[in-house]
A and B are shown apart, each in its own frame.
Chain A
Amino acid sequence: MLQLGLYDFLRHIKRNVFVAVFLAVMCLLITSLYSVFYYEYGKFKPFKKLEKTAGNGFFLADTVLSDDPLNGFTNNFVNNENINKIYQVHKGNNLKIEGRTCSVYVYGEWTWKNWQARLKNGEWFDDYDKEDELIQVVIGVNTQGYEPGDIIECTVDGKNCKCIVKGILQDNTEIMFSPSGYYIGDMNYESCYVLPQNSRTFVLMQEEAADACGIASDEVVSNWAILEYRDDVSDEVVHEINSLAETLSIGAGVVYRAFLEDSTIIVYEKMLAYVPMMVSAFVLSIIAVITVAFINVEKGAKYYSIYYLTGGSKRECFLIASGNVAGTILISVILYITGNEFLEWFTRQRNIVYSTIGAARVMAAGLYAVFTVFLVVCMFFAMKQNSPLDMLRKHRQH
């Protein structure tokens, strides 16, 4: 019976591969969409938490290209009685690693504890311990090919400090909305463009570690910050502060809207570019799979009636048919895994957002389980509707 099952499968190999390819494409589309959505949405998650506790806190990017880099917008709000706290992320330019000038992002405690970039390898920050001899760093743009565990020599104004590489970021184009690169095109909030900064290494560092290393706060440009409002602050005051903050910033449009409005909407808007293409491909795939599954039903039922006629039991005939489904699903899973690995590699080369997170893989497994059940159920009902006796009667031509 196994040999017959294999014959049956190989004789319909074109049909089986066709269905396998379309199933794999469908699963790739769904998991890609989910992964990209989750990745985009995941950027906003830490700020959801803040929104709940702080009422109207929001997040802005600072004037990266300001003539006066010391006049960060945070300076405008430090003494504002309506602001509980300012969570800052700094950017400094005067760190030299092994003689080369590097960019450094200094993360305040709230920032690095609540948001973790996706790491290609290694680990994120541990709690800062001033007794540690080595300063923890995470490498963003890794032009020098550092590996976790590497010890690197840094200098700040002649002062040396040794750093240990904790991890390497997976996505080096965007870190907390502030690109490692720079804006191009018009200074239009709605159409900011991001490019990876490939020319230099940049380094993520904890604020306390940066202080210990000698990167003083007045030597950095305040890159972006989170304002936590007092709970009893009125809407008018919030609006006034928001307006002021917005005028001080470039590139705040998307993030500002995301935080004050529903961040999901922003994610959806970003996904709009992907959705029409993916939905079309998804629908076509569904149609293709169902069509192939159903137009082969009568032909399949005829063949299984022949197997029944020549001595196969109904159970054996069903198992042979199930073998077709199993083989098709197996090929499809292999195609899916291969396609997924390729997509991840391909997009990583181009610094495009794509990362199949664990949940998407579970989703793919679930989809395949659904497709398998669907195909088996279709087959079962087809065989039930076209019983061997019914099919044999059809073999009689008068």
Chain B
Amino acid sequence: MIKLENITKIYNKGKKNEFTALKNVNLTIEDGEFIAVTGTSGAGKSTLLYVISGIDTYEDGSCTLDGTELNRLSDVKLSKVRNKTIGFVMQDFALVEDFSVLENVMLPLQFDKMSGKKKKELAMEAIKRVDIEELAKKQVNQLSGGQKQRTAIARAIVNHPNYILADEPTGALDSKTSKEIMNLFEKLNADGQTIIIVTHDPDVAVRCKRNIRIEDGQVV
């Protein structure tokens, strides 16, 4: 479960261009939910994801992930939480172009102590789940947008995280590919995965079971 209580995030605090990205946000996300976070550009949607994942800090309030308060953790411990508990999917896929599909999917496992063989097994398992098994050895820069996003999703699930956070996952894809990716998310959610998608696309939002709207840093 993810719980946010009175979360406030301010950028450039004390400076002329001070900006409050999140104001007193209260939110509870239960396990297994499939949530769309919508809002206009600059509303604070991505900031919410970064705060939940521990990539960004917050000035006030409390954010707990499965009972662990994130602001109290060191960078090393936060990275472990991110590695084990969260899978991230970005709009432009955030893949290492020089690596193959398999190498990209193995990335989260490289920060763990397990044998190379075990890493490959887990990675192939994730690749199969997203139906790109035949592309495992191909370099990512040779793939289509949809294939890249599937790779990113495989990387996000390889460690069997509790949560998948996706920031505009269909933003760079055509409508047909977007539908395929959403089908994949639905399949993962049906398997019990908690998924939070930031999107401004109503076609994506409508496929999620719960919609949270953010306006000017506040949950509406």
Q: List chain A positions with a Cβ less than 8 A from chain B.
A: 1, 3-4, 7, 11-12, 303, 305-316, 388-389, 392-393, 395-398
Verify A313–B99 contact, CB threshold 8 A: no
Q: Does B180 contact A (CB under 8 A)?
A: no
Knowing A11-B99, A396-B46, A398-B41, the reply to whether A310 touches B55 (Cβ < 8 A) is no
Q: Mark B152-173, 1 if CB is under 8 A from A, else 0.
A: 0001000100000001100110
Verify A312–B90 contact, CB threshold 8 A: no
Q: Does B20 contact A (CB under 8 A)?
A: no
The distance from the CB of B118 to the nearest CB of chain A, in whole angstroms, is 12
- In the complex, which of the residues B82, B95, B171 contacts A311, with contact meaning CB atoms closer than 8 Å? B82
Q: Does B88 contact A (CB under 8 A)?
A: yes
Q: Does B39 contact A (CB under 8 A)?
A: no
Q: Does B127 contact A (CB under 8 A)?
A: no
Chain A residues, CB < 8 A from B155: 310
Given contacts A316-B79, A398-B168, could you give 14 more A-B pairs where the C-beta distance is less than 8 Å? A7-B103, A303-B96, A306-B94, A306-B95, A307-B107, A309-B90, A311-B111, A311-B159, A312-B111, A313-B75, A395-B167, A396-B167, A397-B92, A398-B91
Chain B residues, CB < 8 A from A4: 107, 110-111
Tell me the B100-123 residues at the A interface (CB within 8 Å): 103, 107-108, 110-111, 116
Verify B83–A306 contact, CB threshold 8 A: no
CA distance A197 to B91 in the complex (A): 76
Interface centre among B90, B91, B116, B171 (most CB of A within 10 A): B90
Q: List chain B positions with a Cβ less than 8 A from chain A.
A: 41, 46, 50, 55-56, 75-76, 78-80, 82-84, 88, 90-92, 94-96, 98-99, 103, 107-108, 110-111, 116, 155, 159, 167-168, 171-172, 200
Chain B residues, CB < 8 A from A396: 46, 90-92, 167-168, 171
Chain B residues, CB < 8 A from A11: 96, 98-99
Knowing A388-B55, A397-B92, the reply to whether A313 touches B79 (Cβ < 8 A) is yes
CA distance A395 to B78 in the complex (A): 21
Knowing A3-B116, A396-B167, A397-B171, the reply to whether A309 touches B88 (Cβ < 8 A) is yes
Verify A7–B172 contact, CB threshold 8 A: no
Knowing A392-B90, A396-B91, A397-B91, the reply to whether A315 touches B80 (Cβ < 8 A) is no
- In the complex, which of the residues B82, B95, B99, B200 contacts A7, with contact meaning CB atoms closer than 8 Å? B99
Question: Can you sample 23 A-B contacts with CB below 8 Å?
Answer: A1-B111, A4-B107, A7-B110, A11-B98, A11-B99, A306-B95, A306-B107, A309-B55, A310-B83, A310-B111, A311-B79, A311-B80, A311-B111, A312-B83, A313-B80, A314-B75, A316-B111, A388-B55, A389-B50, A395-B90, A395-B94, A397-B92, A398-B200
Verify B91–A395 contact, CB threshold 8 A: yes
Ranked nearest first, the 10 interchain pairs of A and B with the lowest CB-CB distance are: A311-B83, A313-B79, A4-B110, A11-B98, A310-B108, A395-B90, A313-B76, A310-B107, A311-B111, A395-B92
CA distance A1 to B111 in the complex (A): 5
CA distance A307 to B88 in the complex (A): 11
The distance from the CB of B87 to the nearest CB of chain A, in whole angstroms, is 9
Verify A315–B171 contact, CB threshold 8 A: no
Chain B residues, CB < 8 A from A393: 46
Verify A392–B50 contact, CB threshold 8 A: yes
Chain B residues, CB < 8 A from A305: 94
The distance from the CB of A390 to the nearest CB of chain B, in whole angstroms, is 11
Chain A residues, CB < 8 A from B46: 393, 396
From DSSP, what is the main secondary structure of chain A's interface residues? helix
The distance from the CB of B18 to the nearest CB of chain A, in whole angstroms, is 17
Q: Closest chain A residue to B172 by CB distance?
A: A397
CA distance A305 to B96 in the complex (A): 10
Q: Closest chain B residue to A10 by CB distance?
A: B98
CA distance A388 to B94 in the complex (A): 12
Chain A residues, CB < 8 A from B80: 311, 313
Knowing A314-B75, A392-B50, the reply to whether A3 touches B110 (Cβ < 8 A) is yes
CA distance A392 to B55 in the complex (A): 9
- In the complex, which of the residues B50, B75, B79, B96 contacts A306, with contact meaning CB atoms closer than 8 Å? B96
CA distance A14 to B56 in the complex (A): 35
Q: Closest chain A residue to B77 by CB distance?
A: A313
Chain B residues, CB < 8 A from A3: 110, 116
Chain A residues, CB < 8 A from B84: 311
Chain A residues, CB < 8 A from B108: 310-311
CA distance A295 to B200 in the complex (A): 34
Q: Closest chain B residue to A312 by CB distance?
A: B111
Verify A389–B55 contact, CB threshold 8 A: yes
CA distance A315 to B111 in the complex (A): 12
Chain A residues, CB < 8 A from B50: 389, 392
Interface centre among A303, A309, A315, A397 (most CB of B within 10 A): A309
Chain A residues, CB < 8 A from B167: 395-396
Q: Closest chain A residue to B98 by CB distance?
A: A11
The distance from the CB of B147 to the nearest CB of chain A, in whole angstroms, is 17
Chain B residues, CB < 8 A from A311: 79-80, 82-84, 108, 111, 159
CA distance A3 to B119 in the complex (A): 11
The distance from the CB of B188 to the nearest CB of chain A, in whole angstroms, is 17
Chain B residues, CB < 8 A from A388: 55
The distance from the CB of A58 to the nearest CB of chain B, in whole angstroms, is 66
The distance from the CB of A316 to the nearest CB of chain B, in whole angstroms, is 6
The distance from the CB of B197 to the nearest CB of chain A, in whole angstroms, is 14
CA distance A307 to B82 in the complex (A): 11
Chain A residues, CB < 8 A from B41: 398
Chain A residues, CB < 8 A from B116: 3
